[in-house]
Amino acid sequence: MKKLNPQQFLAVRHTEGPLLILAGAGSGKTQVITTRIVHLIKDRQVPAENILAVTFTNKAAREMRERVASMAGKSSEGIIISTFHSLGVRILRRDIRSLGFKPNFSIYSSSDQAGVLRQAMRERNIDPKQCDPDSILWRISGAKNRLVGPYEFKPTSDDRIELATASVYPRYQELLKGFNAIDFDDIIMLSVKLLQSTPAILEHWQKRFSHIMVDEYQDTNASQYLLISLLAKLHGNLCVVGDDDQSIYGWRGAEVRNILNFEHDHAGCRVIKLEQNYRSTSSILDAANSVIKNNQLRTDKALWTALGKGREIDLIVAGSEEDEAAKVVESMLMEQFRDKLSWSDLAILYRSNSQSRAFEEKLRQERIPYVVIGGQQFYERKEVKDAIAYLKVIDNPSDEASLLRIINFPRRGIGDNTLVRLNQWSLEHDLPLFQTLARVRDIPDISESSKKAVEAFHAMMRGVMEGFKNIRMGEQVNALFNRLRIEDELYRTLNDASQARKRIENIEQVVNSLAVYEEQNPKGTLSAFLERISLLDEDKPNEDDKEHGRDAVTLMSLHSSKGLEFSHVFLVGMEEDLLPHKRSIEEDPTVAEERRLCYVGITRARRHLTISRCRTRRKYGAVEQRNPSRFLDEIPEHLLNSEGGEQQEGAKDSDSMAADFFAQMLGENSDQ
């Protein structure tokens, strides 16, 4: 208790009645939660088995249990510190018979779910080629998180996937029940259903938990909110901890109003704000406060620190994404040398995973170790491999692995049976597969429609190869991808617009990468470009090195960065249509969640923050002008390092940073 600041102390001591702890970034909330639990056990004499603490990840729950055990010893035995889903499983194992299941029910994995869904689709005569099963599962998951059952689900439009979901969802649930199985999203939905439908079961759990604490409350969805409300209703001793300014998961069902309305939903609620930050310098926090205060619907609070002002925030203005990557990596090398940092002290944070491409390439060129967290490396992504496969076949029609990858992408009616016959005929006649395509009329047991599709594909690729020149390669490839209508294929097969857009952005980056290569190598060839990519692939980090914690620079999306911290953070792509993202601007003109995402990114930095943006970016190879992010305008100029080339934008170019760095180093060593 002596280690707590005054507000933390108040939060620990308040143990009766509803309590809302608004815990800003880096304000020591985990210490408050664990100390509060120990205070309940040791000082308030609350039996450990009557205490429930809920969080979102197994890692957070495990760390909390270990801390409590180290402070309270054996007296903490019996306490439940778990994730929402672990709590739900505990409730269901005891009483799920009331819902017609056996206690030994199975929890199906995503692959098991897919098998059940496909069976339900077959029974409902729904073609998976027309309605993507993953998109249907995504809609079912969203419905369950909103506590919408299979017979309550109503299509919101005439969208094909919506209609298919309404048809399949009831049968999917029937099949699960027949297998005595539930899926991951059933855990909370069925727990709520059980408590609502059986008063005796609800009373048992309400009596069991006299004191309940919930961490990261701003991330709760409708079903989690109701589950906790039901359990806490008897005793009313509910403590929730969170920060509405860090609510960034609205796209997956989190409802920020759960924390904003908590005080109004619980009479007599005490509100305590934890505003002292133990992580960052005041320059970083002042920038974060200046951005987040522009959100209208939020609780009023402002982070502060006793750690001192620290350095100003560097702003890099680059000409292009390649220039941005070069300047960021150059700055990173200087920071690492000057401050004697480990590579793991450095992180590059971006809004969209497609942005990683330029940084990955530059880091590999400089032989700097890195890991990509929360996403595949750029050239390992399926849609990127598909796009590169087209380039490989154009360059080398004998590349049969690449040819087989693209022959039915986008889908053109060339099925597996046709591919088997083509391969067999190719082997029997010792003829390359690409040449075999031209002889499809000579091959038996292939349908007329498939023969026409093979002929059309072969003719198209022949035409592309004959017309392809090692000049304006980016434009030629862009024209090919437009002709293939890959965007339409992704929207049609995924039926999840956000996922489709992410994959389209990655394909754009392939065209951009080729265009940049061509610009930098006027005599370059497609073969040389593909060779360069292959060498980059050979240089990629080992699979064993992907675990976070290796001494390597971390690349990750802003969404993946929540809960983490780094000594030096590079927040890149601070531009309109990237941060805030174009899609979010269209959906919410106030861009409140995007502003919270920017706030999360800024507050990941402990000692220093660098922000970068581009004046231009490529879209399918074409150069587009870019505008600074509105969030950048919200940061006061005095917080930004405004020396260098673009003072009116608070920008510092890399030459100026290098000059300052070496001047500083010479000054430090002037006596040697």
Structure token pair of residue 151: 């017979």
Distance set, CA 200 to CA 52, 196, 197, 205 (Å) = 20, 10, 9, 9
SS3 letters across 223-272: HHHHHHHHHHCCCCCEEEEECHHHCCCHHHCCCCHHHHCHHHHCCCCEEE
Residue 203's Cβ-side half-sphere holds a number of Cα atoms within 13 Å equal to: 3
- For residue 532, indicate whether it is catalytic: no
User: Residue 300 contacts by C-beta under 8 Å, 6 or more apart in sequence?
Assistant: none
Does the bond joining 410 to the residue before it have cis omega, within 30 degrees of 0?
yes
- For residue 604, indicate whether it is catalytic: yes
Note whether 315 and 614 are within 8 A (CB): no
Q: Out of 113, 165, 173, 246, which one is annotated catalytic?
A: 246
| Exposure string for 303-314, b = 16+ CB within 10 A, e = fewer | bebebeebebbb
CA distance 176 to 182: 6
Handedness of CA 333, 576, 352, 390 (dihedral sign): negative
Distance set, CA 543 to CA 331, 370, 548, 550 (Å) = 27, 12, 12, 12
Note whether 58 and 95 are within 8 A (CB): no
Q: Out of 13, 15, 30, 646, which one is annotated catalytic?
A: 30
Note whether 402 and 541 are within 8 A (CB): no
Token pair 């917080």: residue: 639
CA 639 centroid distance within chain: 29
Phi first, then psi, for residue 493 (nearest 5°) are: -80, -35
CA distance 132 to 126: 10
Q: Out of 132, 162, 185, 215, which one is annotated catalytic?
A: 215
Note whether 635 and 287 are within 8 A (CB): yes
- For residue 610, indicate whether it is catalytic: no
- For residue 160, indicate whether it is catalytic: no
User: Residue 448 contacts by C-beta under 8 Å, 6 or more apart in sequence?
Assistant: none
Q: Which residues sit opposite 557 in a β-bridge?
A: 350
Token pair 């300014």: residue: 245
- For residue 603, indicate whether it is catalytic: no
Phi first, then psi, for residue 26 (nearest 5°) are: 70, 25
CA distance 152 to 23: 37
Q: Out of 604, 606, 630, 652, which one is annotated catalytic?
A: 604
Token pair 């180290």: residue: 70
User: Residue 174 contacts by C-beta under 8 Å, 6 or more apart in sequence?
Assistant: none
Residue 388: what residue type? I
Q: Out of 29, 273, 351, 502, which one is annotated catalytic?
A: 29
Q: Out of 216, 323, 345, 386, which one is annotated catalytic?
A: 216
Name the binding residues: 23-30
- For residue 275, indicate whether it is catalytic: no
Phi first, then psi, for residue 230 (nearest 5°) are: -65, -45
CA distance 8 to 104: 43
CA distance 612 to 327: 9
Name the binding residues for ATP: 23-30
CA distance 300 to 284: 18
Note whether 185 and 227 are within 8 A (CB): no
Catalytic (active-site) positions: 29-30, 215-216, 246, 604
